[in-house]
Structure 1
Amino acid sequence: MSHQTMNIYNLLIASCLCTFFTYVSSDSPEALRDRVTDLPGQPDVSFKHYAGYVPVNKTNGRAMFYWFFEAMSLPNQKPLVLWLNGGPGCSSVGYGATQETGPFLVDNKETRIKFNPYAWNKAANMLFLESPVGVGFSYSNTTSDYKEIGDDFTARDTYAFIQKWLKRFPAYKENDFYIAGESYAGKFIPELAEVIYDKNNDNSSGHIKLKGILLGNPETSEAEDWIGWVDYAWSHAIISDETYGVISRSCNFSTNTTWDVKECKDGVDEVLKQYHEIDIYSLYTPKCVGNSTLNSSVGLRRFKTNLANLNMMPRLMGGYDPCLDDYSRVFFNRADVQKALHASDGVHLKNWSICNDAIFDNWLDSKPSVLPIYKKLIAGGLRIWVYSGDIDGRVPVLGTRYCINKLELPIKTSWRPWYHEKQVSGWLQEYEGLTFATIKGAGHDVPTFKPSESLAFFSAFLNGSPPPLTR
């Protein structure tokens, strides 16, 4: 090798090392403090993960808790995805991170964690946020804040969180950014996307490279969601023809006054009564009936109705393994887990719950529909994909289809199956500005039911092209 060639070679090596060490050392001191290094029972992994608090309002002492997982490979080149769960009032750490899309899932054996081979950080950097304050480990030192919480409050705080988080992790500021989630996050996500879109356009804060949103079994528009909820219950033989007839005659879900009609309210109560006998989130799987080793009471809880805002759909507890909520509760209340995640000092423990009933009970600010936001985001060129597990009775596929039909979007490609591993995994239709798909045999928390299919669908979303439409 000539002297000149050797010099070029050394320069290339130095350049690569410089790039490598710049990336490795790009963590801020706060990020280094949040690095998780001793999570009990953690499987061996090559990627880094971080957890901790980000203050969003110093005056009132509001801080939000996050858990972030770098992509398994090339994190500097892959998108950053914020995952949100709904409720409102339920934890994205307890559901999304450890029951659905994260790399460590709670196990039903001694409430340990196990590696998820279909974790979404195979395709992206995944950021899970407990939102709003009052959910999980997120908190406010000003009690009056909890009386103000609603859709707009949550969107503003979450936007503040993203801005501050990107300052803590500046290496991800130039990565494409997406928001994904499910259930009541069907409202959180478009509302947050609209705030980001508006702020980006008026240059009022740091630019966020928002590219699109992904919504699973999402609450979208109250009237259509309610109608779809009733129609689905009747079409799946949960309620009688007589109950369906009572609701059809007496309920007008487009108005708040429908709840003043006793016949309507009695009919809806009958639907809830029947759903209480099974798992509304997963029609064809068992419910948790208290025979687990943890003596779970999850499956025995009554449904909750928001009396302050009756138009909000009721919340019931459940899931594919309906006892998972109890496993999460035990895991996140362990002293060694809280200390490892920087949620507490391991001595003065936080009382973590997967859902905060008080948040749901006092939620006054709920937009009747986010369809106008859909239209705005579509016009702005953002990617919008919606998917529905087709055995979910809580936010069923019928309601979501009714909502999408209200948009009256031109059809780009007709209704057809999509495939994963040569099997039909659901059906898909592309509209101008929106893609809708079903996930066959999945309940409310789709990645819990169909992990492999969900990862394939998520990857397709990030690529901006539909999943395989042939075997």
Structure 2
Amino acid sequence: MLFLESPIGVGFSYTSNGRDFDNLGDEFTANDAYEFLKNWFLKFSAYQKRAFYIAGESYAGKYVPELAELIHDRNNISSIYIDLKGILMGNPETSDPDDWRGLVDYAWSHAVVSDETHKIIGDTCDFDSDNTWSNTECSQGVDEVLKQYKEIDIYSLYTAVCMANSTSNSSGSMEVMFKSSSKMMPRIMGGYDPCLDDYATTYYNRPDVQKALHVSDGIKLKNWSICNLTVFDNWADSKPSVLPIYKKLIAAGLRIWVYSGDTDGRVPVLSTRYSLNALGLPIDKPWRPWYHERQVSGWYQEYKGVTFATFRGAGHAVPIFKPSSSLAMFTYFLQSESLPSAR
């Protein structure tokens, strides 16, 4: 398994060309990731004939299909053939209008905002329009949703927030999540333990950890943070929707699985359902529960070309909340088997 920090500037990743940060965006990220993969397969040629899969969560809902499309297109012209078999995405940002509609409807349906706020947004917001945010009433309605979400963990509605030096519930976190209430932005990682971000920050700034990871000599330390805010200051491009890429990859025969933790308010299950419904795919297996260790782990439906599954009681970063059932789902995905629909 390869774990890739992407785009440059996040985590311990870096660039020797400072001008790269002026070009960051979806297209740059996809091309950069592809160059990494090409060079990796050249260096470790024994893996070139292995089946290859891409997985990611949250804003990787755009990164993953964009990279998959690039691999698919380059396989026809490049000297390196990457045997891409499928993609797997969790609580993925997919289609901006559907993502916003789902966020608002989910907040209302889970009693985060009032009927009045929901009605104002319904009456004044046209999320399909480029001029959505020029409507003052619409912007104020959405700002009210975000205001209420600041009181809890938007990534996990029913767990506590960290009360000590919290990074996950800070105003800076909200600034990264939403820029001028107009764009979906990559999230700050959170987890079932509400103070997980604080633990991670402490851990990755330890001299012995940085030395073990070969990112410093253990003396001149790198400054690791949960989110590099400057990376997203001048984000050059973000596709409003990757649904056209879905259609292209489905036609190419790739395996596409999408899953949602159903207690996430950031990219909620409703957003994903709205996006997938917009594809208009025929249903091969209707909505039904799936099981792990004889318990209902969630529900799933198999469309012609896409499998969609939910995780009951999981927030945004599903494997943190449901590690065992996540591993089971991952195994079924790799084996191209349906999730178990019986105890």
TM-score norm. by structure 2 comes to 0.96
Matched, 1:239 2:110: no
| Structure 2 residue aligned with 1:403 | 275
Alignment of 1:68-467 (within 5 A): 126-200=1-75, 202-290=76-164, 295-302=165-172, 303-304=174-175, 307=179, 310-312=182-184, 315=187, 318-467=190-339
**How many Å separate the matches in 2 of 1:228 and 1:250?**
16
Q: Which residue identity lines up with residue 142 of structure 1 in the other structure?
A: N
- Tell me the alpha carbon deviations over residues 257-289 of structure 1, each in whole angstroms, 9 at most, x when there is no partner: 111111111111100010000000000000112
**How many Å separate the matches in 2 of 1:339 and 1:326?**
20
- Number of aligned residues: 341
Q: Which residue identity lines up with residue 257 of structure 1 in the other structure?
A: N
Q: Which residue identity lines up with residue 43 of structure 2 in the other structure?
A: R
Give the Å deviation of 1:398: 0.4
**How many Å separate the matches in 2 of 1:168 and 1:317?**
31
Give the Å deviation of 1:165: 1.5
Q: Which residue identity lines up with residue 304 of structure 1 in the other structure?
A: E
Q: 1:396 to 1:297 in 2, by over 3 A?
A: closer
Percent of aligned pairs sharing the same letter: 64
**How many Å separate the matches in 2 of 1:376 and 1:389?**
26
- Tell me the alpha carbon deviations over residues 217-248 of structure 1, each in whole angstroms, 9 at most, x when there is no partner: 00000000000000000000000001001111
**How many Å separate the matches in 1 of 2:77 and 2:187?**
38
Q: 1:307 to 1:467 in 2, by over 3 A?
A: closer
Identify unmatched segments of 5+ residues in structure 1: 1-125
- Secondary structure (helix, strand or coil) at the match of 2:2 reads strand
- Secondary structure (helix, strand or coil) at the match of 1:395 reads coil
**How many Å separate the matches in 2 of 1:460 and 1:247?**
40
**Which of 1 and 2 has higher RCO (CA within 8 Å, sep 6+)?**
2
| Structure 1 residue aligned with 2:341 | 469
Give the Å deviation of 1:297: 4.0
**How many Å separate the matches in 1 of 2:232 and 2:116?**
31
Tell me if the contact between 1:385 and 1:434 (Cα under 8 Å) persists in the aligned partners: yes
Q: 1:415 to 1:468 in 2, by over 3 A?
A: same
TM-score norm. by structure 1 comes to 0.70
Tell me if the contact between 2:205 and 2:223 (Cα under 8 Å) persists in the aligned partners: yes
Kindly report structure 1 stretches of 4+ aligned residues shifted beyond 6 Å: none
Tell me if the contact between 1:186 and 1:215 (Cα under 8 Å) persists in the aligned partners: yes
Q: 1:261 to 1:148 in 2, by over 3 A?
A: same
**How many Å separate the matches in 1 of 2:330 and 2:251?**
23
**How many Å separate the matches in 2 of 1:289 and 1:314?**
23
Greater CA drift, 248-257 or 433-442: 248-257
Tell me if the contact between 1:335 and 1:346 (Cα under 8 Å) persists in the aligned partners: yes
- Secondary structure (helix, strand or coil) at the match of 2:183 reads coil
- Tell me the alpha carbon deviations over residues 62-99 of structure 1, each in whole angstroms, 9 at most, x when there is no partner: xxxxxxxxxxxxxxxxxxxxxxxxxxxxxxxxxxxxxx
**How many Å separate the matches in 2 of 1:355 and 1:137?**
11
Give the Å deviation of 1:342: 1.1
Give the Å deviation of 1:133: 0.7
Tell me if the contact between 2:34 and 2:67 (Cα under 8 Å) persists in the aligned partners: yes
Q: 1:383 to 1:314 in 2, by over 3 A?
A: closer
